[in-house]
A and B are shown apart, each in its own frame.
Chain A
Amino acid sequence: MAIPALTARRARLNRLDTKGSPYLYVLPFFLLFGAFGLFPLIYTGYVSFNDWNLLDAGSHEWVGLANYRELLQDPYFWNALGNTLSIWALSTVPQLLAALWIAHLLNHRLRARTSLRMGVLLPNITSIVAVTIVFTQLFGRDFGMVNWLLGVVGIGPIDWQADTWSSHLAISIIVAWRWTGYNALIYLASMQAIPHDLYEAAELDGASSAQQFWKITVPMLRPTIIFTAVISTIGGLQIIAEPLLFAGSSTPTGGSDRQFQTAALFMYEQGFREFRFGYASAIAWTLVIVIAVFAIANYLITRRIANDEEKS
């Protein structure tokens, strides 16, 4: 009499265990994500509909879409968005191509292969501030090494901060230097998952090393290439520390004429120099939408490219 009841309870507990405990296991992630991801996201959205003064102990007033309306008519926002896209394109495209090439090299049998593979990650684990400060010195106008090298081949000293093209190029190099190795390692990992007999068969058919790379390696890496393109887009559109430190005077306007102020830096300026917390939050949300659009576009484009290569 008592025994069936016990087994029934045990069965119920068992069922609860198999059904419930997985949720318990993933709960910490969702709690953390809720506190540090979702809540700030929603709260930022709420703030963006207010005229919110950060300095004055957060006094605020509901203004609806006024911040967004102002933003769309703000020439400095469009300027910052243009700079962001330019720096993103200048850094991401060469960066991913270089990463692919480096991964290809590291995939071969080399001397000191492990140290080399570790080595390419070093720039990524170095402090971003340290990297930018060192590069800003290299790009110095009067005593920088880059200008010195250019001087050797007869190109006059360049004031890297002064012009739009030169500042974008310099910042892109800093970004690429940090992230190329990281992407190369991701490519390398998935290159090693490509079955070796594909290459053997290609070699028997007389395919050259370059042909093997373009016809086997790249198509097989398609999911990875899509992944890195999307991740680089998300990262590239949020660049802030490099242009802030590159200016040399720690002002968040990105140069004398805002020539290298990125969207994230513009957000920082509005939030923490102008103390317009609501406006800065509107910029943050607009940036989220822009990044989402670009990530999706990127996904579609890279999928297409990789598909084409598979077919040809």
Chain B
Amino acid sequence: MLLSRSVRALTAAAAAAVMLTACGSGGDEGSAADGGNVTLNVNLFGNFGYEELYKEYEKANPTIKIKQSTAAYNDHHRNIATHLATNSGAGDIEAVDTGFIAQMRAVGKQFTDLGTERQSEYLPWKWQASLTKDGQQIGYGTDVGGLAICYRRDLFQKAGLPTDRDEVSASWAGGWDKYIEQGQKYTEKAPAGTAFFDGAGALYNAVIGQAPVGFYSEDDTVVVSSNPEVRKAWDLVVQAVQSDLSAKLLESSPEWNNGFAKGQFATIACPAWMMAKIKDQSKNAAGKWDVAAVPGGGGNWGGSYLTVPKQGEHVEEAKKLAAWLTAPEQQAKVFTSKGLLPSIPALYDKPEIAQYKDPFFNDAPVGKIFTTAAKELKPQYQGPRTGDIQTTIRDGLVRVEQGKQSSDESWQQTVSDVERLAK
């Protein structure tokens, strides 16, 4: 009796253990080429909107199987670096963000040269950013960020602000100061549990993205402490935080994702790719979001590249797939399905893009808004540690948000941290 009970308990525990380990080790290796079939591993971060395209490609190329893995932004880029260092484990195609492309460019010999054939298709600065010093192209551009402000009509209405997108754009057309003023008005009558924007780090990225020079001068010198634009953007964001406009959420954290679903913030700095995140995270708010122009003129935040590491087993097939995924037709499709803004300027005047209206965003003319933004965009030079400097500045602003330090204390620590990074 006693024995049988313990046997039963043991079996149950063993079964539980097996289930748990099974969960932990799902996923197959799948890179073997059986019977002429080739599996291409595509490693991405965030949402590139490629799922439908894979099916199309596999149909047209029956010997190719595509397997996509997605990791968080920082994890993904650390993984690439590790795989390059150990010369194993990288995907056949690896996506790289603008913030990290200069770091990869510096070790360009680890990537396959994609040649110069497609140079004329691309925005010149987009093409330039992934080009090594000796003229090797390491990545095909996917999208560019552009900038707008996405906002919640329902929250604006509750707070007694105008909701029409032209009126909203006009309300802060005078610059970021006006945006903060608008935020103060919002905060006076804000629905409980909501703030004007998501978090200091994200807002900062948008503001600095508009400056002609950011964290680096073109000779790869870090100019964080000497470039007045960097401090100006800092002060502006601090002012917004101290006016109590921030929901104090960390970009890309689970809480931030949750913030979309719960409607914790009324506006968010909105590069085109942010629209994909909004659609993913706040499905329940379809039609409540809208898109207005960004204060302070055109700018860029983010945008990515597809690279083909040399260590991959199927470099030729991977090159073809990367070229196809970033070809004009596919970039156009990804824009209408996910909102990622093409990096191929010939598309900007195509009616299916220029006149595209997105029902999720209350039929906002996102085609017009973002193609205009992309045309006005003044490209900013990105150096090797741009991505990590961004994170360091974000942490500095978070210290102010959390009330741990004054703006000046935090700025000093940020500058010395950045110097340490760039050493």
Contacts and interface: CB of A to CB of B under 8 A. Distances in A.
B254 A136 contact: yes
Contact of B404 (A127, A137, A251, A256): A256
B74 A251 contact: yes
B406 interface: no
B346 interface: no
Contact of B255 (A125, A127, A140, A253): A140
B69 to A, nearest CB: 15
B72 interface: yes
A248 B254 contact: yes
B398 A127 contact: no
Contact of B78 (A141, A143, A273): A273
A55 B262 contact: no
Contact of A142 (B255, B388, B404): B255
A253 B78 CA distance: 14
B342 to A, nearest CB: 29
Contacts of B107: 55-57
- Which among B9, B81, B252, B396 has the highest number of chain A CB atoms within 10 Å? B9
- Which among B75, B250, B413 has the highest number of chain A CB atoms within 10 Å? B250
A96 to B, nearest CB: 24
Contacts of A275: 81, 85
Size bin of chain A's contact surface: 20 to 34
Contacts of A253: 391, 395
A76 B17 CA distance: 40
Contact of B9 (A57, A114, A133, A137): A114
Interface in A142-157: 142-143
Contacts of B6: 114
A257 B17 contact: no
A249 interface: yes
Contact of B402 (A121, A256, A273): A256
B1 interface: no
A17 interface: no
A121 B16 CA distance: 12
B75 to A, nearest CB: 5
Interface string B248-278: 1011111100110010100000000000000
B101 to A, nearest CB: 14
Contact of B13 (A57, A118, A272): A118
Contacts of B82: 54, 272
B241 to A, nearest CB: 13
Nearest to B24: A127
Contacts of B388: 273
A65 interface: no
B311 to A, nearest CB: 11
B252 A249 contact: yes
Contacts of B78: 272-273
B391 A251 contact: yes
A209 interface: no
Contacts of A126: 20
Given A54-B85, A55-B84, A57-B107, A256 B74 contact: no
A137 B103 contact: no
B320 interface: no
Contacts of B10: 114, 118
Contacts of B404: 162-163, 256-257
B399 interface: yes
Contacts of A125: 17, 20
Interface string B1-32: 00001100110110011001001100000000
A257 B399 contact: yes
10 contacts: A55-B84, A55-B85, A56-B107, A114-B6, A140-B258, A142-B255, A142-B264, A162-B402, A249-B391, A251-B395
Given A114-B5, A162-B402, A275-B85, 16 more contacts: A54-B85, A55-B85, A55-B107, A114-B6, A114-B10, A118-B10, A126-B20, A142-B264, A248-B250, A249-B250, A250-B73, A251-B74, A253-B395, A256-B395, A256-B402, A275-B81
Shortest Cβ-Cβ A-B pairs, 8 listed: A248-B253, A256-B398, A162-B402, A114-B9, A54-B85, A118-B13, A256-B395, A114-B6
